[in-house]
Chains A and B, each alone.
Chain A
């Protein structure tokens, strides 16, 4: 098969920023392959990368949905902790009581999704009906959910799940890790939600301008509540992957994911002020982050250096975005001035 390069270069990205993201992603992969020629592009490394990022990828999907509506969800990790702890308790007690593994897993997943819906409903109602800004509402529920998780476990970690449950996080189908398959399904569903449904369209509208959205006959409260329910559901799925990968759950697990999720979402082209954000951009940002992280890991950089790198990358990307925007404005104004001068003379 011949690769038609001219066609490739003519391909237009729907979102203009995604062109740069694509270049950044390719660059990071190429750099890591050059620096680590023997270990980076090996099947085992790719497999481990594909099983590592989904638990955090789901949280990033959730964060992006909140940001599209102009909000933010600081409670995603806490909701994942809370639902994860409940699932862990159910699985653990079912295991010791000798319940069949299938029933226990079914029960725990139902419990996770049910509690996630309640968490999301609570967040959404605080924001939509009480009128608390999303950052404050989710700051409060973060404490609430994490507090409940801590109260349930008394601060200890809970382990001892049925073996069948572990396949969700560690299983492989045709060489593809199951968490990765779950993530692809999740990402496709979220993309469909955003691009093919009324709710998705309303979310972008709400994030761009809530007043206009309301006067166009959109029930903003309903849109917000639905958004935060989906957000919490995604956090719930993340928690299932988390506990089955680690075979245990403790409150506070994955607290570093909050910053990473925000970083990846902003990197992926979402605007904290709302109205922007798309799945292809987010996916490229997640791949970039995972590739860089895995490469730094193989090169034996400390986790502290990675923390430093993330902060640096976040600030750098946002600063470059700002400068590019300013430059674009400057060029536009200059062009307009030239046009005015041309018509005047």
Chain B
């Protein structure tokens, strides 16, 4: 019974694909299933996972947010430029600026979504163009390379919470990024599970009108969702900077669709109201190993986009075919009862 229930969730299938794919990659290239590669994957995908959690919240609330990556790059580029201009070389300062920008831009999204009741996809398409255009026009277009980068950001990217030494004496470790991700997962989980606002997010995603009648302050919930997604994007922006040690104002923009793909693969319904953080993380893992490990099995990186699209189509097909069959099954039962 328990196992049967498990197979109703599309996450289970995605997890299977992850395991199968990992086994396949390991068979071809044993370097895949090593602690070092695992730590490396965690370090490079933590940022994507954090963005995915923000988009996940927006999806549950019944919307789509394609402006998250733009918010991340705006937060990153402006904070690193402020750090350089003021000479105040502190990682917390960078995070504070980026998070503040993220919350503000998220609030602007929420104004259009909540007060003007406009379709979320169109709003966030518009605002991402607005934010990115404004940053390139009024802040600058020049990339900041590793030489000009503040030391604290470089240190943060190299900071490990756990070090393991290789046989030859050199070490590799678990990045601090993973800790940030775990904290964000726990906080988000707590909000979704135990707070009124968290339950409200599911409620407005299921049925906005019903949630309103039930007494939820839908406007406040929508503002919370978009500001929280903006906050996470702000955090991700600085993390991304200290990961790649290079700030190009044109990076990240355009990758939002693959993050949305990850969240949807993880079982979050695009029409809102359902989804789990566990599923989202499984979706992120699948997209990450697809994007980062195709080379390991000898396929060139040109195939990356193709496979992401293919896996997304297969994943959503399973979900919606299942829904269709369950629906028709229910109809048959109703007929029998009559």
> What is the interface of chain A, defined by CB distance below 8 A to chain B?
72, 74, 126, 130-133, 135-137, 139-148, 150-151, 154-155, 255, 259, 262-263, 266, 272-273, 302, 304-312, 314-315, 318-319, 322-323
Residues of B within 8 A of A143 (CB): 257-258, 261, 305-306, 308-310, 312
Residues of B within 8 A of A74 (CB): 257
Residues of A within 8 A of B231 (CB): none
Residues of B within 8 A of A151 (CB): 302-303, 306
Q: Is the CB of B254 within 8 A of A255?
A: yes
Max chain A Cβ within 10 angstroms of own Cβ: one of B129, B132, B304: B129
Residues of B within 8 A of A315 (CB): 112, 118, 123, 126-127, 130
20 A-B pairs besides A262-B125, A302-B136, A308-B134 with CB distance below 8 A are A72-B121, A74-B257, A126-B317, A135-B64, A139-B261, A139-B312, A142-B309, A146-B305, A146-B309, A147-B302, A147-B304, A151-B302, A154-B302, A308-B130, A311-B130, A311-B133, A315-B123, A315-B130, A319-B118, A323-B116
Q: Mark B234-269, 1 if CB is under 8 A from A, else 0.
A: 000000000000000000001001101100100000
List the A residue with the shortest CB-CB distance to B324.
A131
Q: Mark B105-127, 1 if CB is under 8 A from A, else 0.
A: 00000001000111101110111
A153 CB to closest chain B CB, in angstroms?
A: 8
Q: Is the CB of A259 within 8 A of B129?
A: yes
Interface size on B, residues (CB 8 A): 48
B323 interfacial by beta-carbon distance below 8 Å: yes
Residues of A within 8 A of B258 (CB): 143
Residues of A within 8 A of B129 (CB): 259, 307-308, 310-311, 314
B271 interfacial by beta-carbon distance below 8 Å: yes
Residues of A within 8 A of B321 (CB): 130-131
B307 interfacial by beta-carbon distance below 8 Å: yes
Q: Is the CB of A144 within 8 A of B306?
A: yes
Residues of B within 8 A of A302 (CB): 136-137
A sample of 13 inter-chain contacts (CB < 8 A) reads: A131-B323, A133-B270, A133-B271, A140-B313, A144-B313, A147-B303, A259-B125, A272-B122, A305-B133, A306-B133, A308-B133, A308-B137, A319-B116
A139–B317 alpha-carbon span in the complex (Å)? 13
B11 CB to closest chain A CB, in angstroms?
A: 16
Q: Is the CB of A322 within 8 A of B313?
A: no
B64 CB to closest chain A CB, in angstroms?
A: 7
A312–B112 alpha-carbon span in the complex (Å)? 12
Residues of A within 8 A of B324 (CB): 130-131
B190 interfacial by beta-carbon distance below 8 Å: no
Max chain A Cβ within 10 angstroms of own Cβ: one of B121, B136, B264, B306: B306
Residues of A within 8 A of B130 (CB): 308, 311-312, 315
A306–B128 alpha-carbon span in the complex (Å)? 13
Residues of B within 8 A of A146 (CB): 305, 309
B208 interfacial by beta-carbon distance below 8 Å: no
Residues of A within 8 A of B112 (CB): 315, 318-319
A128–B307 alpha-carbon span in the complex (Å)? 23
A146–B305 alpha-carbon span in the complex (Å)? 7
B141 interfacial by beta-carbon distance below 8 Å: yes
B334 CB to closest chain A CB, in angstroms?
A: 18
A210 CB to closest chain B CB, in angstroms?
A: 14
Residues of B within 8 A of A148 (CB): 306
B93 interfacial by beta-carbon distance below 8 Å: no
List the B residue with the shortest CB-CB distance to A306.
B133
Q: Is the CB of B136 within 8 A of A307?
A: yes
Contact of B317 among A130, A150, A307 (CB under 8 A): A130
List the B residue with the shortest CB-CB distance to A320.
B116
Q: Is the CB of B119 within 8 A of A272?
A: yes
Q: Is the CB of A310 within 8 A of B133?
A: yes
Residues of B within 8 A of A308 (CB): 129-130, 132-134, 136-137
Residues of B within 8 A of A136 (CB): 264, 270, 312, 316
List the A residue with the shortest CB-CB distance to B314.
A140
Q: Is the CB of B320 within 8 A of A130?
A: yes
Contact of B316 among A137, A273, A319 (CB under 8 A): A137
A5–B5 alpha-carbon span in the complex (Å)? 72
Residues of B within 8 A of A145 (CB): 309
Q: Is the CB of B316 within 8 A of A140?
A: yes
Within 8 A of A (CB), among B40-67: 64
List the B residue with the shortest CB-CB distance to A318.
B118
List the B residue with the shortest CB-CB distance to A271.
B119
Residues of B within 8 A of A155 (CB): 302
A156–B16 alpha-carbon span in the complex (Å)? 35
A203 CB to closest chain B CB, in angstroms?
A: 19
Contact of A147 among B132, B136, B305 (CB under 8 A): B305
A244 CB to closest chain B CB, in angstroms?
A: 25
Residues of B within 8 A of A137 (CB): 313, 316
